[in-house]
Amino acid sequence: TTAPAANAKANVVILATGGTIAGAGADASNSATYQAAKVPVDKLIAAVPSLGALANVRGEQVFQIASESFTNAQLVQLAKRVSALLKQDDVDGVVVTHGTDTLEETAFFLDLVVKSDKPIVVVGSMRPSTALSADGALNLADAVATAASPASRAKGVLVTMNDEIQAGRDVTKRVNIKPSAFVSQWGPLGMVVEGKTYWFRAPVKRHGTSSEFDIDTIDTLPDVAIVYGSGTMNPAAYTAAVQGGAKAIVHAGTGNGSVAGYLVDTLKDLRAKGTVIIRSSRVGDGFVLRNAEQPDDQYDWVVAHDLNPQKAKILAAVALTKTTDTKELQRIFWEY
């Protein structure tokens, strides 16, 4: 499929899922006290009249939930809808409005499984539209401008927050009540200013059409648990996760993704029974390598590289739809 002719306005579909961008507070003083997932997509669009100058826009209400409530089934349903829309010649890009709590997981999931070079932009807001200096309207306009721009093609899933364009793979919510909440340890890809995108970097990790994963062949995702590392841990947290159905456990370890000596036997036992063990780090900008402080080769563990625990959970769930081989899983964690 080709990009729209240079002077034609792009056709952008906004898929609304809820979150604060659809939130409402009691009055303008409420920037943190409000209810998420209230305002329907057509009202979101009507509240930003300038969208019509950026693209031909139409909306669909896929869900109306606070994003902490997203389930794997809803991730799959959303990705299938995005994939189907981008196959249509009359759709040039998709914007997904989303709560910010799990926006980073949804953005990475779509990055991995939607096989299209057309722009997919996930966007949220840190303040409800009813608040002073609400950020949702500009974030949404930036998202539509980015989804409408041919320069956004083949750059993976993008996230527009606070004037910046972030890679869906890298971006994470680092703060819970500031418009500057979303950061990437490798930096933003670009900026949107007055409806125009400015690019400075492009992703190098596999995504979209270069991904080996395809949402059209995925109907369910396996359960993956995260156990948060600290001092004085209880091994039962890991065995309970497996008893609850987890096929893999992401260990959000201290520092280098470290594992307390008294946990090793439990993890080795779970591994021996088929559970995949993935070491990530609880630190903000983790970077976990094999056999650094932990004998991953000896224990047959996988390392999450630069992916934080929640991103590692998404990649593990997608990878496990194809393989349980730990050498293949480690390749996947190096390549995506």
Q: Which is nearer to ligand DGL, 33 or 88 (CB)?
A: 33
Q: Which is nearer to ligand DGL, 143 or 270 (CB)?
A: 143
Q: Which residue is catalytic, options 20, 106, 172, 197?
A: 20
- CA distances in angstroms from 156 to 45, 239, 315, listed in the order given: 24, 36, 15
Q: Which is nearer to ligand DGL, 36 or 233 (CB)?
A: 36
Minimum distance between the CB of residue 129 and ligand DGL, rounded to whole angstroms?
A: 12
- Asked about 160 being catalytic, the answer comes back as no
Which letter, b or e, does each residue of 211-231 get, where b requires 16 or more Cβ atoms within 10 Å of its Cβ?
Answer: bebebeebeebbbbbbbebee
Minimum distance between the CB of residue 310 and ligand DGL, rounded to whole angstroms?
A: 13
Beta bridge partners of 234: none
Q: Taking a C-beta distance cutoff of 8 angstroms, is the pair 292, 299 a contact? A: no
Minimum distance between the CB of residue 194 and ligand DGL, rounded to whole angstroms?
A: 24
- Asked about 20 being catalytic, the answer comes back as yes
Tokens at 99, concatenated: 């709560």
Give the three-state DSSP class for 121. Answer: strand
**Please, which residues have CB within 8 angstroms of residue 272's CB and are 6 or more apart in sequence?**
none
Q: Which residue is catalytic, options 17, 97, 100, 275?
A: 100
Minimum distance between the CB of residue 157 and ligand DGL, rounded to whole angstroms?
A: 17
* Residues of this chain that bind ligand DGL (CB under 6 A): 19-20, 36, 66-68, 99-101, 124-126
Q: Which is nearer to ligand DGL, 102 or 294 (CB)?
A: 102
- CA-nearest of 200, 198, 192, 155 to 50 is 192
Tokens at 223, concatenated: 């359960």
Residue 67 in marked binding region? yes
**Please, which residues have CB within 8 angstroms of residue 43's CB and are 6 or more apart in sequence?**
none
Residue 281 in marked binding region? no
Residue 149 in marked binding region? no
The residues annotated with a catalytic role in the active site are: 20, 100
